[in-house]
Structure 1
């Protein structure tokens, strides 16, 4: 039996008639998550699905759902393994279902879908990037698609990874509202022909069917029949690789899964035009959407922001711009309270598929979205921005309104680290590959190890090894030459925490270190910015100071939303002409205050003249 520690006192609180249903659902999810953690992954999936079936049964059978004609709950399409749950967890399931029935179907589908994903095995959830879209963001994306010219009464729509119906249920609502003049039977037939979902998880597909039926319950009641299935259970990528399944739609919309995956030779060849290096699920689903949507059709996707700048996405960026005109991008400000347990920054994007006569449109409307405490959105326009002529290059866009002026300046900058006379390399030492050579004791053939903590937030260098497993010295052996650094360079922390205000944290690896030790070994959590000649246009100290400034960090954030600092994104960062930095060099030589130096950096970077 799946045991629970939920007491009668807790259940009494949950069952209280004075309790706000949203609070009941929150408390119920907390209890369910704590309960689910007791199971190992082998039995957890079946157990939580059986629990969720109890929740949905309670939701369906509540009196608020069907008031005209009684339809029994649609059976789950794959037989569930019977799990003996104890009475208290069954009671929790019942309370959660009844509380959800007090909410509108869109909110209920989100709350119950979010409950399901939150109690799934963590590995399954993270490996497949399974997260439910909050109703406010769903509504925003649907409105953006409408603003792009979509008429719900005439379009065919597909969600290629429909999950539990976060998009399909509200779309069904909008379609029904737009065709209200048809008979109930005609309305159902219209939906059945024009609204489709595809989902790899049979249980999520079943949830979608349930919520679709609730969304159109009044029409079903008047028509006297249940709406037919509109969800195909399949591996969507493989399904549409079979030519007999190909179909085009006017609108493709959704929140595709994300995460790296290994592709078959056939799938890699099919998606070759958008693939470079590692494949990511949401990149494949973006390519698929472009394939499935008709000319002049609309794509609305909620995805991570990483495709905007990452090197592995450069061919995807080229493919998107070849086949579509990006219309709008909404950056979701902050992750807390938006997507539970999601660390990646996210955006809403709308694209229009080109036709043979389409002209290139490099301008994108940019907005910043804040989720308020009441669940509604605050939408702030950052204006329209042009993409670079090089279609593979990162999309430099203001991710919040404060960065709008910076992006305007960046568009006039033609220099970068390469033109400054530098190249970027990652530290060579992977400590666990050379454990036996690390020591706290210096010997004749040892060199100091430069760990990430040597780079202080204020831009100073301190030779130290403070963290666990960090030793001070590397015992050199034959064939270790590739690990040695013999000349000064700029060191930059490769990874930062999401809470840190700065992404670029740099210092200069000083010449004095080499005078004392001749060489050093740099760990792989540091990037090295190395002069390519003895006459670099910008000195090491000047470059480090400039990169460390708040304004350049803000500029870098318009390219990268990741906590990791990649060489590719660093090299893509537009920089002012070296001659613009002369005054800054003077201030450094004069040991000017940090405030004066910061002001000068801001002045340099926000001047719009090239």
Structure 2
């Protein structure tokens, strides 16, 4: 089932969530002009400059909004002390034009554009370390809609946004509260600090979010003679203690690894395994904050769907809660300009009732239109910590359904997995262009070529073909036959799984080889494993196997953990595949046979 969310469409309820005005088309040009002029006047690339320019823009937008409502109300004071200087005349004119357009635009879009100016002017290092990626309006609308489809209580409930910088999700939630308040908007305005709570660690970003809320509420405050309520607090959400206080939690948390104190590791122990990712901590926080039967919706990378470091998070998300919806964002959407990860919208309900998860593909067809293709319902694995097999597109649905019931893994095929032991820059002095006494061939990821081809020396590593191990490093050598697999691939690469057998001649001629860290090594656990290395290589290089792997791997890397979890047919059913490989059958014949092995019964 495919459906479109379009503001001009017939479904008022849907269009209300995703609406975007025509002015959206003009904002990028004006924003680009402001950023260009800011750079020309040396007002970009540092936090003070970012605050100076953005404060001027926000103030100008507020004045335009106040003028339109005939209000004398002053803009709220910043939540941080600012040293503000007047803008150059040319830049001030561009800001005034931007403000005039913003005053006539949708408040959610205005919040986004203000946030984009601020984040774009920040130093790249600050954006990265703070995970500053503000939610586009159409994605905020989809998050709201997913929560509403699970009957989230926007009528009388409390809403939390724990990473509220910029205010896009906060204003989107406010629109929901206003819609359901009906004629009781005055009561909502009075009660709003309890009903809508935004938390943000960056004081200036928190102020921006509050200003976005104020702009939306200004006409209501004037109409009812009330002060504008403060709903955004400056705090580190991860330091807060929540006890099932909210009905709805909406979030687009920061991405990236987090360094935790011992106390924080203890606090989030239930969802941690190894390295901590900030967005995983926020998901844990969300389920602590939400009431029984409440809803959490989040925009995050897909890495938690399959990575080993997220196995305790996956288990926690399904212990006392149920995953209601997983919507994969099409990789072509470009949700965030400088984020390369695949992204997902996840809706979780804190309930003991369980049912299959609805899976959808979300595509941004036009700036103002979200296209959602509902792929169906899928059962998550019985092992709560296991990777989730989730199709990304409609043509992956049948393969996913067929694979989900397969109980076999690479260990059943007779193979163990390890990662190449040599991290090259730690062995730099031992690597050479020409062989020396006792040198061994160094196998790079570049030696593993598509379609099962082995190439040594690697053309991408000229001058680094040999390594001379020290006496205490001999255990790093590989003396037995194995299958090699690239461990890291680019987002644009056609195949995630790229495998080749290590030729017997390499071991026969040199006695052993040494394998670099960007290569996975699949070793037979016996002299005659149930599946030959040739059949295993052909299988891994198939489009079908690659599809199955991509459906639970949310990362560009091919980890040993995920390889061990790869859902495989019974090795007893591989007789025809073995024969096809032995007879040097065409890749099309081999692909058809592997598709048959994954066919849903």
Query: TM-score band (shorter)?
Result: over 0.9
Equivalent in the alignment of 1:200: 201
2:480, 2:507 within 8 Å by CA — same for their partners in 1?
yes
2:244, 2:292 within 8 Å by CA — same for their partners in 1?
no
* Pairwise CA distance, 1:468: 5.4
- The secondary structure found in structure 2 opposite 1:391 is coil
Aligned pairs for 1:373-388 (under 5 A) are 373-388=366-381
Equivalent in the alignment of 2:340: 343
Distance 2:99 2:172 in 1: 20
Q: CA RMSD in A?
A: 2.1
Which range moved further: 427-436 or 596-605? 596-605
CA distance 1:313–1:205, change in 2 (3 Å): same
CA distance 1:223–1:457, change in 2 (3 Å): same
1:255, 1:302 within 8 Å by CA — same for their partners in 2?
yes
Equivalent in the alignment of 1:128: 130
- The secondary structure found in structure 1 opposite 2:127 is helix
* Pairwise CA distance, 1:83: 4.5
Give me the TM-score of the superposition, normalised by structure 1: 0.91
**Pick aligned residue for 2:570 from 574, 577, 583:** 577
CA distance 1:401–1:169, change in 2 (3 Å): same
Aligned pairs for 1:19-418 (under 5 A) are 21-33=23-35, 44-62=46-64, 66-83=68-85, 85-182=87-184, 184=186, 186-240=187-241, 248-354=245-351, 358-359=352-353, 361-418=354-411
**Pick aligned residue for 1:553 from 520, 524, 546:** 546
- The secondary structure found in structure 2 opposite 1:480 is helix
* Pairwise CA distance, 1:110: 1.4
- The secondary structure found in structure 1 opposite 2:421 is coil
1:77, 1:206 within 8 Å by CA — same for their partners in 2?
yes
- The secondary structure found in structure 1 opposite 2:240 is helix
- The secondary structure found in structure 2 opposite 1:551 is helix
Distance 2:588 2:396 in 1: 20
- The secondary structure found in structure 2 opposite 1:133 is coil
Output one character per residue of 1:34-55: Cα deviation in whole Å (capped at 9) or x when no partner: 5666899997011111110111
Output one character per residue of 1:346-365: Cα deviation in whole Å (capped at 9) or x when no partner: 111111112xxx33x14101
Distance 2:38 2:557 in 1: 32
CA distance 1:37–1:489, change in 2 (3 Å): farther
Output one character per residue of 1:358-386: Cα deviation in whole Å (capped at 9) or x when no partner: 33x14101111111124311111111111
2:153, 2:247 within 8 Å by CA — same for their partners in 1?
no
CA distance 1:522–1:57, change in 2 (3 Å): same
Equivalent in the alignment of 2:15: none
* Pairwise CA distance, 1:287: 0.8
1:172, 1:191 within 8 Å by CA — same for their partners in 2?
no
Distance 2:158 2:267 in 1: 25
Distance 1:161 1:188 in 2: 22
Distance 1:113 1:137 in 2: 15
1:492, 1:505 within 8 Å by CA — same for their partners in 2?
yes
- The secondary structure found in structure 1 opposite 2:450 is coil
* Pairwise CA distance, 1:150: 2.1
2:45, 2:122 within 8 Å by CA — same for their partners in 1?
no
Alignment partner of 1:485 is 2:478 = yes
Distance 2:42 2:100 in 1: 29
1:54, 1:94 within 8 Å by CA — same for their partners in 2?
no
Equivalent in the alignment of 1:504: 497
Distance 1:170 1:401 in 2: 30
Output one character per residue of 1:204-247: Cα deviation in whole Å (capped at 9) or x when no partner: 1111111111222221111223322111100111132xxxx756
Distance 2:91 2:475 in 1: 59
Which range moved further: 32-41 or 103-112? 32-41
- Number of aligned residues: 580
* Pairwise CA distance, 1:566: 0.7
Alignment partner of 1:423 is 2:383 = no
* Pairwise CA distance, 1:572: 0.7
Output one character per residue of 1:551-601: Cα deviation in whole Å (capped at 9) or x when no partner: 110111111121111111111110001122211111111111222222222
1:158, 1:249 within 8 Å by CA — same for their partners in 2?
yes
- The secondary structure found in structure 2 opposite 1:603 is helix
Alignment partner of 1:527 is 2:520 = yes
Alignment partner of 1:442 is 2:443 = no
Equivalent in the alignment of 2:600: 608
Which range moved further: 304-313 or 592-601? 592-601
Distance 2:414 2:218 in 1: 67
* Pairwise CA distance, 1:86: 3.2
